[in-house]
Structure formats: structure tokens, C-alpha cells
């Protein structure tokens, strides 16, 4: 019996060998392998490696399952975009594919339910876009290295999970009408953003290893796990969500005040709004918010406390039914401080003290909410704003804390100065 199995295996292997030693079709070496008919597809299915890009265009005669049974690596991209007619294939499969050097970009296959690429580990970026029937894409979980984007837009995936990817530039998860969970458990750094928009309301988000992100933006989420997050360089936004608690135990720094390489067109620093179930906020390590700190329209939120917050370079805007608002370490607010409170008898006097002793530079309003001023966004204005801030924050009270708390601003200021010469 055993010898029979061995014999069969040996036959299998040798036939595989002979298949491999047969010459592969020359189109596998094309700089662009353009698949636009069933005939070309049949030839392309023989390729083991493709030297250039695979580009799949519409054809009326594709089979329901499009399979690349031998394909192991693609030196260019695997693309299917920009065609007039929707491709009707329901299943795309490349069971041996491990590497795509450039992009995997699949768009507008309206009937596609399954992408089966179970051993794909390495690509530059993935963009799945307008695949409203897609319910399974196993490679999203098997990816180990990505140099750029992880984008999933307009699919029917219920879960997006990956426990191997340590880094991505963009993580954008938009318009997924069935999405319930996003779990990227190995991700430590997203150098441009992690953003969720317009997905099914109530997505549970788990990013247990994330330390640093540039723009952080969450809409329609029901929970957020970020135990290791230390820095959101651009902004931190939670909006239109059903979260009951928001905890960021290690977050120290939010928001960039001014960076000449990215034009800042809004005031967003730390923004938490339109989340009617939110009952508690915990930001025990937060020391600095560049631009604005805004907490508005979270009807259940009664207590606001930022125990370590020293400075806000922009404005502070708080609106709601608060019982207590505490900033025990607050040292500098560069703009206005506006607090609108519907709770009768709220005592504004303690906060007024920050205005009286010069901690707040701009106007102070409480208990009436005054809309916050918006910034112009031009580089020259931003430069002036930084100079103003430096002049103001180095004068008067709190010079002791000036050096340490403003080190970051100085670093940006130095690069700004170089930019403007």
C-alpha cells in the first residue's frame, strides 16, 4: 500500500516536472500581459511567473471561475480597473500565488464573491474597490508585507482580519456595508492613516499593537482597542459612532501644528463628536494637542478629565451636558476656550481662572458655546502663527515648562525655517 502511494507520488512529481520543463508561453514574459478574452486567459493560465503586469479587461466569454492554477509570482501588478463593462466572474483564484511585486488592484467585478489567494504574503499595495458581492478574500489575512496601501472599499466582507502585517502607509476601509470587525493585530505603524468611513454602523475595531499613526479617523464604530497607541501625528477623530468608552492609555501626543510638507486646511487635533452612547473618556497620558481639542454632541458624556494635558496649541471647544470638566495640568491654550453647557448651574469660575491668569491666550466663553475660529491654511499665515505662539509661550507664566513642552514645536519650526529660505 505504502509503496503504491510512493509510486503514485513519484509519477505525480515526474509529470509535474515534465510539465514545468515544457516551455511556458511567451506571453508570460510580456511587460503587460493583457487578458481580454477566454482564449488569452487559457494561455495565461499556464504561466508560473509573470514578468510584467497582468491586466484583466472585460470579456463576454469568461468562465464563472477565473483561475490561475500555476501562478506563483508576478513581477508587476495584478490589475483589473478602468473598463466600460463590469466583469461578471464570480470567483478569482490563484492558489499558489505568493508574491506580487507591485499592486493588487481589483475594481468593479460586480458578481465577484470570492478571491482565493491563500498563500499570498507579499505585495506593494492592495486596493479592492467596488466589489459589492465580495464576501471572502483570504489574502487580506495572509499578507505579511505590504509597502504601501491596505484599502478595502465597497465590498460585502463581514470581517477584515490580519495578524501578520506590521506596517502600512494607508489603511482605508470605506463603504463596506456588511463590515462588523476590523482586527489588525500586528500593525504597529500606519504612516499615513487608519481611516474608517461609511461602513455598516457599529464596526468593532481592534488595533492592539498600534504605536504610531499619522491621521486617525473613525466613523460608525462601536468599539476601539488601542492600548499601545502613543502618537497620532496628524489628528485623532472619532465621529458618528456608538462607542460607550474611549480609552487611549498611552496616547501622549495628538496633532501636528504645522508641517510645511502637508498643508493643513482644518483645525482638527483631537475631535470626538456625534457619539450619543459615549459615557466615558480616558486619556490619562495625553500631554499635548496641536491644533484644536473638540468634544461636542456626545449626549451621555458628563465628565471630561485630561489629567496630564499641558498644552493645546489651537482652540478648546467643548459642548454638552457636563457635570465636571477638569484640566489639572493645563499650562497653555494658544487659541480660544469655548465651553457650552446645558447643565444648569455648571460652575465656569474654575475655568475662568485659566483665562484670568493667562493660561488661555484667546477669548474665553462659558457657559455659552461660541463657534471656534477657522484657520486660513496658507503657509505664510501658519509661519506667523508659529512665531506668535513661540513669542507668547516663551513669555510670562510657566517658563519652567516651556523648554520641554515646546521641543516638538521647535523641531517643526526649524524645518519650517529651512522651507522658507
- Residue 195's DSSP bridge partners are 172, 217
Among 72, 73, 132, 282, binds ligand NAG (CB under 6 A): 132
Which x/- pattern over 65-94 shows residues binding ligand NAG (rule: CB under 6 A)?
Answer: -----------------------x------
Residue closer to ligand NAG by CB (options 119, 164) is: 164
> Does 202 sit near ligand NAG (CB under 6 A)?
no
- Three cell numbers, residue 347: 460652575
In this structure, the chain runs to a length of 421
Beta bridge partners of 293: 270, 316
Please select the residue that binds ligand NAG; options are 34, 81, 209, 308, rule is CB under 6 A: 34
**Piece of 5-13, 106-114, 134-142, 368-376 that binds ligand NAG (CB under 6 A):** 106-114
Q: If binding is defined by CB under 6 A, does position 158 make contact with ligand NAG?
A: no
The separation between the first and the last C-alpha atoms of the chain, rounded to the nearest angstrom, is 82
Round to whole Å and give the CA distance between 196 and 190: 14
145 forms part of the interface with ligand NAG (CB under 6 A): no
The sign of the dihedral angle between the CA atoms of 395, 400, 402, 403 is positive
Q: Residue 240 interacts with ligand NAG (CB under 6 A)?
A: yes
Count CB neighbours of 344 within 10 A: 7
Q: Report the C-alpha gap between 235 and 254 in whole angstroms.
A: 6
Nearest to 144 by CA among 162, 170, 165: 165
Which C-beta is closer to ligand NAG: that of 110 or that of 285? 110
Cis peptide before 367 (omega within 30 of 0): yes
Name the one range near ligand NAG by CB under 6 A: 5-13, 28-36, 118-126, 280-288.
28-36
Examine residue 244 and tell whether it contacts ligand NAG (CB under 6 A). no
Q: Could you count the other beta carbons within 10 Å of the beta carbon of residue 103?
A: 20
Residues 285 and 250 sit within 8 Å (Cβ to Cβ): yes
Beta strands in 84-219 (DSSP E): 91-93, 99-107, 114-116, 122-131, 136-137, 145-146, 149-155, 159-162, 167-174, 181-184, 189-197, 203-206, 212-219
- Which is it for strands 114-116 and 78-80: parallel, antiparallel or unpaired? unpaired
25 binds ligand NAG (CB under 6 A): no
Q: Which stretch binds ligand NAG (CB under 6 A): 13-21, 314-322, 353-361, 410-418?
A: 353-361
Using CA atoms, how far apart are residues 318 and 214, in angstroms rounded to an integer?
A: 24
Under rule CB under 6 A, residue 189 binds ligand NAG: yes
- Binds ligand NAG (CB under 6 A): choice among 24, 32, 116, 405: 32
Contact 185, 160 (CB under 8 A): no
Residue nearer to ligand NAG on the CB measure, 237 or 286: 237
User: Taking contact as CB under 6 A, which single stretch among the options 2-10, 25-33, 71-79, 248-256 is the one that binds ligand NAG?
Assistant: 25-33
Stretch that binds ligand NAG, among 157-165, 221-229, 233-241, 374-382 (CB under 6 A): 233-241
Please check whether residue 318 is in contact with residue 340, taking contact to mean a CB–CB distance below 8 angstroms: yes
Residue with CB nearest ligand NAG?
353
For 84, phi then psi, to 5°, come to -80, -35
* Residues in contact with ligand NAG, shown as a per-residue x/- string from 252 to 281 under the rule CB under 6 A: ----------------------xxx-----
Site map 112..131 versus ligand NAG, x via CB under 6 A: ------------------x-
Site for ligand NAG in 399-418 (CB under 6 A): none
Q: Which stretch, 11-19, 97-105, 383-391, 410-418, contacts ligand NAG (CB under 6 A)?
A: 383-391
Report the residue from 347, 357, 368, 378 that binds ligand NAG according to the rule CB under 6 A: 357
Q: Which residues bind ligand NAG (CB under 6 A)?
A: 27, 30, 32-34, 40, 88, 108, 110-111, 130, 132, 154, 175, 189, 191, 211-212, 219, 237, 239-240, 274-276, 297, 350, 353-354, 357, 359, 384, 387-388, 391, 397-398
Amino acid at each position: 500500500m505504502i509503496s503504491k502511494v510512493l509510486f503514485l507520488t513519484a509519477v505525480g512529481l515526474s509529470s509535474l516536472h515534465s510539465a514545468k520543463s515544457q516551455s511556458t508561453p511567451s506571453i508570460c514574459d510580456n511587460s503587460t500581459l493583457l487578458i481580454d478574452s477566454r482564449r488569452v486567459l487559457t494561455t495565461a493560465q499556464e504561466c508560473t511567473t509573470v514578468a510584467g503586469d497582468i491586466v484583466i479587461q472585460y470579456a463576454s466569454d469568461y468562465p464563472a471561475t477565473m483561475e490561475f492554477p500555476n501562478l506563483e509570482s508576478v513581477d508587476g501588478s495584478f490589475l483589473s480597473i478602468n473598463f466600460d463593462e463590469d466583469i461578471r466572474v464570480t470567483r478569482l483564484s490563484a492558489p499558489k500565488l505568493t508574491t506580487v511585486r507591485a499592486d493588487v488592484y481589483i475594481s468593479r467585478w460586480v458578481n465577484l464573491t470570492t478571491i482565493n489567494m491563500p498563500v499570498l504574503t507579499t505585495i506593494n499595495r492592495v486596493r479592492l474597490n467596488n466589489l459589492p458581492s465580495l464576501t471572502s478574500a483570504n489574502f487580506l489575512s495572509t499578507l505579511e508585507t505590504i509597502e504601501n496601501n491596505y484599502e478595502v472599499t465597497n465590498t460585502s466582507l463581514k470581517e477584515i482580519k490580519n495578524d501578520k502585517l506590521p506596517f502600512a502607509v494607508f489603511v482605508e476601509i470605506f463603504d463596506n456595508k456588511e463590515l462588523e470587525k476590523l482586527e489588525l493585530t500586528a500593525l504597529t505603524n500606519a504612516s499615513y492613516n487608519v481611516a474608517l468611513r461609511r461602513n455598516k454602523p457599529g464596526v468593532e475595531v481592534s488595533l492592539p499593537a498600534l504605536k504610531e499613526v499619522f491621521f486617525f479617523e473613525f466613523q460608525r464604530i462601536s468599539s476601539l482597542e488601542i492600548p499601545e497607541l502613543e502618537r497620532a501625528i496628524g489628528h485623532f477623530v472619532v465621529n458618528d459612532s456608538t462607542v460607550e468608552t474611549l480609552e487611549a492609555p498611552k496616547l501622549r501626543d495628538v496633532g501636528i501644528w504645522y508641517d510645511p510638507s502637508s498643508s493643513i486646511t482644518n483645525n482638527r487635533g483631537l475631535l470626538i463628536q456625534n457619539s450619543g452612547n459615549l459615557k466615558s473618556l480616558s486619556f490619562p497620558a495625553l500631554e499635548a494637542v496641536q491644533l484644536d481639542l473638540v468634544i461636542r454632541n456626545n449626549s451621555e458624556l458628563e465628565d471630561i478629565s485630561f489629567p496630564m494635558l499641558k498644552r493645546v496649541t489651537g482652540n478648546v471647544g467643548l459642548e454638552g451636558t457636563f457635570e465636571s470638566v477638569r484640566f489639572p495640568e493645563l499650562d497653555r491654550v494658544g487659541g480660544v476656550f469655548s465651553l457650552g453647557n446645558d447643565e444648569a448651574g455648571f460652575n465656569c469660575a474654575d475655568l475662568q481662572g485659566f483665562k484670568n491668569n493667562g493660561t488661555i491666550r484667546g477669548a474665553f466663553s462659558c457657559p455659552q458655546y461660541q463657534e471656534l475660529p477657522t484657520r486660513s491654511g496658507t503657509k505664510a499665515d501658519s509661519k506667523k502663527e508659529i512665531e506668535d505662539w513661540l513669542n507668547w509661550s516663551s513669555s510670562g507664566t510657566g517658563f519652567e515648562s516651556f523648554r520641554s513642552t515646546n521641543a516638538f514645536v521647535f523641531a517643526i519650526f526649524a524645518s519650517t525655517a529651512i522651507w522658507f529660505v
